[in-house]
Amino acid sequence: MTMTASALLEVNELVVTYRPPKRPPIHAVASVSFQMVEGKTLALIGESGSGKSTIARAVCGLEHVESGQVLMDGTDLCAEKDGARAAGARGIQVVFQDPTSALNPRWPVWRSITEPLLSRRRASKEEHLAIALDLMVQVGLHASMAQRRPRELSGGQRQRVVIARALANKPRLIVLDEPVSALDVSVRNEILVLLDALKRTQGLTYLLISHDMGAVIQLATDVAVLYLGKLVESGPIEEVVRHPIHPYTQALIRAVPTVHGRRLTDVQTLVERPSAPGEIVGCPFHPRCPMAVDVCSTTAPVGQKVRGRIVACHRAQEVPAGTSEANCEV
Ligand SMILES: Nc1ncnc2c1ncn2[C@@H]1O[C@H](COP(=O)(O)OP(=O)(O)OP(=O)(O)O)[C@@H](O)[C@H]1O
Ligand code: SF4
Ligand SMILES: [Mg+2]
């Protein structure tokens, strides 16, 4: 894959294999490649266990990568001794699903927010407090909360603290792994609106992981669909969601009902859990694919460009434009 001028991050043929003792290896990510363009939001979608969080952790330098590259500014984070530190130094931050476990329960809010600065900046407590207060304003938290402990905050407020902490190091790319799925429905939308506003005002780029299609449609500009550790389709969100080409994307998107207000269902439970990653020869989707032909069970399809997106399916060219109209609003 060639690097385009505007690519902020490039993931090349990433392979992550878990090797639990006395159990067969789990091929969680099986040669995944994609690029993150500055200012865009790429959503990774797919069923539970498809490898989304593993990719997220690899991008943050938190995962042991078997092979492949995660290039940020031309530096391969996988080749660095301390991948997490290298990722942070190059402007990558992460917001996970559960804000409670992400925060030190004994620390006041202001200290958690400026935690990323502790090792890099020699500043007084007063300076850190001032930085924290400024970040709190940016994420919609009242300054009076600075001295509170996490248990004294609501779930939504705690997630705002985590987002403020992610902003402390002036990031360029934020990895959002299920950022709203632990929150009440009423708070979920407020956090999505905040994330969208921060992206625009601070020129951020997001890698979003969510099984909530409403959140994906609200935030993402592009989407990549994962199936058993492989990318099956990727491209602009409007194209992929409106006219999915890959049979798996079609199944995934078609099963999402259209509901006013774009509160759409969960993509995680739409189709039954198949085999474990890496168990299948040929196209990983062939045991469940209504379009499967002989070659599908012997030869894995490679990604090809079809109408502005990349699709890994032997029959991708046969799907006429606009025929796979999905029933979900974008
Ligand atoms: N630390 C680990 N040790 C062994 N296997 C793991 C580990 N972490 C993940 N896996 C396995 O790797 C595969 C991918 O997991 P991953 O957490 O990346 O999926 P996911 O798409 O994020 O799923 P979910 O939607 O449930 O969060 C799964 O089969 C999972 O069981
Ligand atoms: S390659 Fe074959 S089995 Fe795989 S999605 Fe395409 S038609 Fe279905
Ligand atoms: Mg996950």
Q: Which domain covers residue 265, as residue numbers?
A: 7-91+171-318
43 in a domain, yes or no?
Answer: yes
Nearest atom in ligand 1 to 226's CA: 21
Q: With the C-alpha atoms ordered 224, 91, 165, 103, is the resulting torsion angle positive or negative? A: positive
DSSP 2-31: PPPTTEEEEEEEEEEEE--TTS--EEEEEE
CA distance 264 to 270: 12
Mean pLDDT is lowest, of 79-93, 116-130, 162-176, 224-238, for 116-130
313 lines ligand 2 (CB under 6 A): yes
Is residue 175 in a domain?
yes
How far does the centroid of ligand 3 lie from the alpha carbon of residue 147, in Å? 32
Confirm whether 83 is domain-assigned: yes
Q: Which residues contact 226 (CB under 8 A, 6 or more apart)?
A: 32, 44, 45, 46, 50, 51, 52, 55, 232
Q: What is the mean pLDDT of the chain?
A: 89
For the chain, how many structural domains are there in total? 1
What atom in ligand 1 is closest to the CA of residue 57? Answer: 18
- The CA 79 to ligand 3 mean position distance, Å, reads 24
Q: Is the CB of 210 under 6 A from ligand 1?
A: no
Evaluate whether residue 110 is within a structural domain: no
- Residue 227 CA, ligand 2 centroid: distance in Å: 12
Question: Is residue 230 in contact with ligand 2, taking CB distance under 6 Å?
Answer: no
Task: Characterize the bridge pairing of strands 205-209 and 173-177.
Answer: parallel
* Average of per-residue pLDDT across 245-262: 73
- Model pTM score: 0.92
Ligand nearest to the CA of 46: 1
- pLDDT single digits (tens) 42-87: 999 999 999 999 999 999 999 999 999 999 988 999 999 999 999 9
The ligand minimizing its distance to the Cα of 49 is 1
283 lines ligand 2 (CB under 6 A): yes
Within 10 angstroms of residue 201's Cβ, the number of other Cβ atoms is 9
Gap between the Cα atoms of 245 and 310, Å rounded: 10
CATH at 180:
3.40.50.300
Question: Would you say residue 176 lies in a domain?
Answer: yes
Per mean pLDDT, which range of 13-27, 75-89, 293-307, 310-324 is the poorest?
310-324
82 by Cβ neighbours in 10 Å (0-12 / 13-18 / 19+) ranks as exposed
Please report, for residues 164, 248, 289, 304, the alpha-carbon distance to residue 252 in angstroms, rounded to integers and kept in the order given: 33, 6, 12, 20
Structural domain includes residue 74: yes
Check: CB of residue 70 under 8 Å from CB of residue 58.
yes
Q: Confidence band (pLDDT; 50, 70, 90) for 273?
A: very low
Whether 237 is covered by a domain: the verdict is yes
DSSP structural state of residue 212: B
Mutate to test the pocket of ligand 1, among 17, 19, 52, 231 (most ligand atoms within 8 A of CB): 52
Give 180-189 pLDDT, tens digit per residue: 999 999 999 9
Q: Does 289 reside within a domain?
A: yes
